[in-house]
Amino acid sequence: MKATLVPIDSQVLGGNVLSIDDFSPTEDFAVFERAYLESHRPVYVSCKIPLERIADVHLLEDNGFKLIECQIRSRIDFRTWFDTSAYPYKFERVTTADALNQVLEIAGTTFEHDRFSIDPLLARKISGERYRRYVEQSFAAENEAVYRLYDPKTGKAVAFKTHRRVDKSEVVFVLGAVHPQCKGLGLGVINSYSEFNELKQNGFLRGYTQISAANYHVFNVEIGKLGFRVLTTFAVMRKIYRH
């Protein structure tokens, strides 16, 4: 097992945030925990466990961790071109400060189902600031990109997407959302169609994503309409420390 520092989450929560990777039930967790407490003095530690490993979930519960979210990891292969010509929107990569600020406004206000916004022990504003910083990271990183869906009549963004390139054929979808004032208009599907077309045009073959199982709308769209295939489900466990 190893405890990995999560820089953006640490900045937002104002203390070290760790992710436990390669969880192993054969290691002495009490010894492992004492070591990361001494080294990092974390305020928040999380661990993702495949749901079929229920004994590992119980082991973390015995050590003070709580279930905060279930996540679904899924994959889509870019086999189809989607006709978006009937929709009065344009999709483009974000390259200017003005376009980025439009996306940041959406990212800071629209998410409702993530583990930070629903956590009763965390301030609600943390979630929006966290997503803003992840968008800024995608804008700056060489292997990531930010796109916006916008109305050409007004120039205003109505939705956005970010992804990270794994290699020349695969990407990981990081974030995607619709402006809170535009929800319920079907823009999520148009946003996804546009991103899939862009990626396919650039030679990518498939993409991976993880979403909250509590986000029923996105779950139904991705699995039921867009053609994502479920690969794994995770129990996301977290423990909050007070110093």
| pLDDT given at position 242 | 82
Q: How confident is the model at residue 3 (pLDDT cuts 50, 70, 90)?
A: very high
Structure confidence by residue, pLDDT tens digits, 8-30: 999 999 999 999 999 999 999 99
SS3 content of the chain, % helix, strand, coil (to 5): 35, 30, 35
Mean pLDDT across the stretch 108-127?
Answer: 90
Q: Is residue 76 helix, strand or coil?
A: strand
CA-nearest of 180, 183, 103 to 146 is 103
The whole model's pTM is what? Answer: 0.93
Structure confidence by residue, pLDDT tens digits, 157-210: 999 999 999 999 999 999 999 999 998 889 999 999 999 999 999 999 999 999
* Residue 187 one-letter amino acid: L
CA-nearest of 186, 198, 81 to 145 is 198
| pLDDT given at position 123 | 87
Count of other CB atoms within 10 angstroms of residue 157 = 26
Mean pLDDT across the stretch 83-99?
Answer: 96
Cβ pair 74, 233 in contact under 8 A: no
- Domains in the chain: ranges and CATH: 2-72+236-240 (no CATH), 76-233 (3.40.630.30)
Q: How confident is the model at residue 118 (pLDDT cuts 50, 70, 90)?
A: very high
User: Is pLDDT at 230 greater than 70 in this prediction?
Assistant: yes
In angstroms, rounded to a whole number, what is the distance separating the alpha carbons of residues 109 and 182?
Answer: 12
Structure confidence by residue, pLDDT tens digits, 38-72: 999 999 999 999 999 999 999 999 999 999 999 99
Strand 17-21, strand 2-5: pairing = antiparallel
| pLDDT given at position 112 | 84
- Structure-block tokens of residue 124: 């609600």
User: Is pLDDT at 243 greater than 70 in this prediction?
Assistant: no
CA distances from 67 to 58, 175, 239 (A): 10, 22, 9
For residue 169, the Cα-to-chain-centroid distance in whole angstroms is: 20
